[in-house]
Amino acid sequence: MFQLRIHGRGGQGVVTAAELVSVAAFIEGRHAQAFPSFGSERTGAPVVAFCRIDDKEIRVREPIAEPDALILQDPTLLHQVDVFGGLGPDGYILINSARSFEELGLGDFADRFRRDRLRTVPATDLAREHLGRPIPNAVLVGGFAALSGLISLESVAAAIRAKFAAKLGDNRAQLDEAVGINSVERFLGDQAIEQGWTMQAAAPPSGKRVLVVGAGPSGLSAAYHLTRLGHDVTIHEAGPMAGGMMRFGIPKYRLPREVLDAEVERILAMGVRLELDTKVTNIEQSLREGGFDAAFLAVGAHISKRAYIPAGESGHILDALSVLRSMEGQERPMLGRRVVVYGGGNTAMDVARTARRLGAEEAIVVYRRTRERMPAHDFEVEEAEQEGVMMRWLSTIKQANEGKLVIEKMELDQTGFPQPTGELEELEADSVVLALGQDTDLSLLEGIAGIDVEEGVVEVGPNMMTGHEGIFAGGDMVPDERTVTVGIGHGKKAARHIDGWLRGKPYEPRPKPEVVTFDMLNTWYYADAPRTVQPQLDPIRRQGTFDEVVHGLDESNALFEARRCLSCGNCFSCDNCYGVCPDNAVLKLAGTASANVNGYAIDLDYCKGCGMCVSECPCGAITMEPEDI
């Protein structure tokens, strides 16, 4: 059993932190328990929360006297409470502070523990910077996951999403199922291609030139937004075609190339210049020689990570990216009849599914941990299994010989790390494909002053600028989730900051409106409406073709799905407030009969502040403000 104790002060969210750790462990299929011990509930008073995690049912209930790990949310408690009491020399300590153990006066104390298990993290500062609120619990839980390896960061993210679902705007999920906004967006994208919608620059030419390095989703997004903002954009792309991992990673059955080509074409039609087969080797030189005023780097992560597997002479070991990349060329990769894929992420699923389509009779994914701990999305694993991909959990490859692999069984230790058991088995395989993640090639930044690289990725500020003035970066090469959506978001955000930087007027994001949570809605006004299911290609037909698996919605289904939106916080002209006001103080504005947020006004000379309109508004669009007298 693993026992965690969290010390903090009332109001800092220690109880939430303990809950998040236990929910993350629960998501991973383990037993978990979280509970607080309040000496006092006053804001600022010392508070302790406890969390236990085990692979079997937990029957103990008492507070934890001898923890395996400690999280300290407020270092000022060091002088007030015996926070480290009962912790053994192998224990983990995570302290919320920008200072080191030495700077906190804990240098000698720390020498009694394993140094690799002690960390400080400026969680409050990070929370203030990224969330706009000094609430450090989620950051600390992420820090604890990274330090201890007890739970994965993916599970922590899932626990946070589950806990704050309402705050994250997922209100419909609490009623039945979240709105399939992706399928509605896809419908619009398909319409745009079908009907030839075009896009124009929204601002007059600025006279400034920006170099974008890399034509993946992040670079293309930056190019689009910078062009809309009036700048002259050139993309330098090392490869022979645009799209990055959308073309050379994500298989066709998930992203048809005619869709990708059409999207790229629409961006180029705005006037973006794309120079293919143009690898940037020194960014300062490219900026200087091209006369550019700023650069956005989005070179992705293309170097496959390797694992040392002793291989006999004819052991056929390939890497996932080379296999997927070669799918874009004329010659299909030779994988054989029995293919083993080593890894547990989405890339592993993509290669295994591709192998099946190429005719492999067996495609087996070998992964060191359990299904719950797999980084691959659930739907990816399910689709792979439907297509006949087999999984070998808790297994690692010890040796690769011609036609045969030696597999060692693993077991998870108390902290969730896979450990070898010494139990060996043989597995027949014509080829092994390694899908162990990717690193970034940062050689274009060598020798450039101010660039800060941490754990193989480039550090950027909140404005997406690197430590070098005028050089911005985003996508997979900066520390964040590695997805197309995040990369596209980085491109948009960076474009706004580059625009502000070029114009000498730093970009200030608009303040975000207050989030309307589930409890602010009157859900009985909404009809039951289960989520629209996107049609899928039959599993048998999937095995022999690269046809798209998940199809789009037709117009009536897309409209139905869009109408499932609860319009949280946005008036949709239902007239409820107009009908219920006892004093006829709600006025309909002339000429705004259709849905329009400005379609109503409240005549404050007649309003007596009874709050009926607020309580009867289905979507929480009206709030009461205290009057200044």
Ligand X SMILES: Cc1cc2nc3c(=O)[nH]c(=O)nc-3n(C[C@H](O)[C@H](O)[C@H](O)COP(=O)(O)OP(=O)(O)OC[C@H]3O[C@@H](n4cnc5c(N)ncnc54)[C@H](O)[C@@H]3O)c2cc1C
> SS3 of 16, please?
helix
Taking CB under 6 A as the binding criterion, the range among 436-444, 450-458, 544-552, 567-575 that sits at the site for ligand SF4 is 567-575
Instruction: Kindly state the tokens that stand for 336.
Output: 């054989």
Residue 324 interacts with, from ligand X, ligand SF4, none (CB under 5-8 Å by kind): ligand X
Interatomic CA distance for residues 477 and 302, integer angstroms: 10
CB atoms within 10 A of CB 423: 11
Q: How far is the CB of 166 from ligand SF4 (least distance, A)?
A: 19
CA distance 400 to 315: 5
76 burial (CB, 10 Å; 0-12 / 13-18 / 19+) is exposed
Cβ-based nearer residue to ligand SF4, 478 or 577: 577
Q: Is 444 or 520 the residue whose CB approaches ligand X more closely?
A: 444
What's the distance, CA 622 to chain centroid? 32
Site string for ligand X, 340-379 (x = CB under 6 A): ------xx--x-----------------------------
Residue 494 found at the interface with ligand X (CB under 6 A): no
Q: Which residues have C-beta within 8 Å of that of residue 429, sequence separation ≥ 6?
A: 336, 338, 339, 340, 364, 400, 403, 404, 405
Nearest Cα residue to 435 out of 358, 354, 372: 354
Residue 165 is classified by DSSP as: T
217 binds, among ligand SF4, ligand X, none (CB under 5 to 8 A by kind): ligand X
Contacted entry of ligand SF4, ligand X, none for residue 612, CB cut-off 5 to 8 Å set by kind? ligand SF4
Q: What's the full length of the chain, in residues?
A: 629
Closer residue to ligand SF4 in complex, CB, 85/611: 611
Binding pattern for the stretch 554-583 against ligand X, x by CB under 6 A and - elsewhere: ------------------------------
Of the candidates 213, 458, 585, 612, which one interacts with ligand X according to CB under 6 A? 213
* Among positions 280, 366, 410, 451, the unique one binding ligand X when judged by CB under 6 A: 280
Residues 618 and 620: their CA atoms lie apart, in Å, by 6
- Rounded Cα distance between 473 and 463, Å, is 10
Using CB distances below 5 to 8 A depending on partner kind, what does residue 400 bind out of ligand X, ligand SF4, none?
none
Number of residues forming the site for ligand SF4 (CB under 6 A): 25
Taking CB within 5 to 8 Å according to partner kind, which of ligand SF4, ligand X, none is near residue 483?
A: ligand X
- The listed partner (ligand X, ligand SF4, none) that binds 581, CB under 5 to 8 Å by sort, is ligand SF4
Q: Hey, what amino acid is at 486?
A: V
Per-residue b or e along 278-298, where b marks 16 or more CB atoms closer than 10 Å to that residue's CB: eebeebeebbeeeebbbbbbb
535 binds, among ligand X, ligand SF4, none (CB under 5 to 8 A by kind): none
Binding mask 580-619 for ligand SF4 (x = CB under 6 A): -x-x-xx-------------x-x----xxxxxxx---xxx
Closer residue to ligand SF4, CB minimum distance, 58 or 610: 610
Q: How many residues bind ligand X (CB under 6 A)?
A: 36
Which region among 371-379, 480-488, 490-498, 572-580 touches ligand SF4 (by CB under 6 A)? Answer: 572-580
CA dist 8 and 572 (Å) reads 43
Nearest to 266, CA basis, from 314, 221, 229, 232: 221
Residue 410 near residue 420, CB atoms below 8 Å: yes
Determine if 238 is a binding residue for ligand X (CB under 6 A).
yes
Interface mask (CB under 6 A) for ligand X, residues 239-278, using x and -? x----xxx--xx---x------------------------
Binds ligand SF4 (CB under 6 A): choice among 173, 412, 436, 574: 574
User: Strands (DSSP E) along 308-452, which ranges?
Assistant: 317-319, 338-342, 362-366, 390-392, 395-401, 404-412, 418-428, 431-434, 438-439
Tokens in use for 237? 């792309």
Would you count residue 485 as binding ligand X (CB under 6 A)?
Answer: yes
Instruction: Please tell me whether residue 563 binds ligand SF4 under the rule CB under 6 A.
Output: no
Closer residue to ligand SF4 (CB): 423 or 583: 583
Q: Which of 546, 572, 587, 592 binds ligand SF4 (CB under 6 A)?
A: 572
* Strand order across the beta sheet in which 31-38 lies: 31-38, 46-54, 2-9, 69-72, 92-96, 118-121
Q: How far apart are CA 198 and CA 175, in angstroms?
A: 38
Residue number, 47 or 442, with CB nearest to ligand X = 442
DSSP 343-355: --SHHHHHHHHHH
Shortest spacing between CB 113 and ligand X, in angstroms: 37
The span of 319-327, 343-351, 444-452, 566-574 binding ligand SF4 (CB under 6 A) equals: 566-574
**Pairing relationship of beta strands 118-121 and 209-213 according to DSSP bridges:** unpaired
Least spacing, CB of residue 176 vs ligand X, in Å: 25
Whichever of 389 and 622 has its CB closer to ligand X, that residue is 389
**Of the candidates 289, 299, 304, 286, the residue with the CA atom closest to the CA atom of residue 238:** 299
CA-wise closest residue to 210 among 461, 462, 452, 471:
471
Q: How far is the CB of 307 from ligand X (least distance, A)?
A: 17
Q: What is the nearest approach in angstroms of ligand SF4 to the Cβ of residue 522? A: 9
Binding site for ligand SF4 (CB under 6 A): 571-577, 581, 583, 585-586, 600, 602, 607-613, 617-619, 621-622
Using CB under 6 A as the criterion, which residues of the chain lie in contact with ligand X when the complex forms?
213-219, 236-239, 244-246, 249-250, 254, 279-280, 298-300, 302, 324, 346-347, 350, 441, 444, 475-476, 482-485, 487
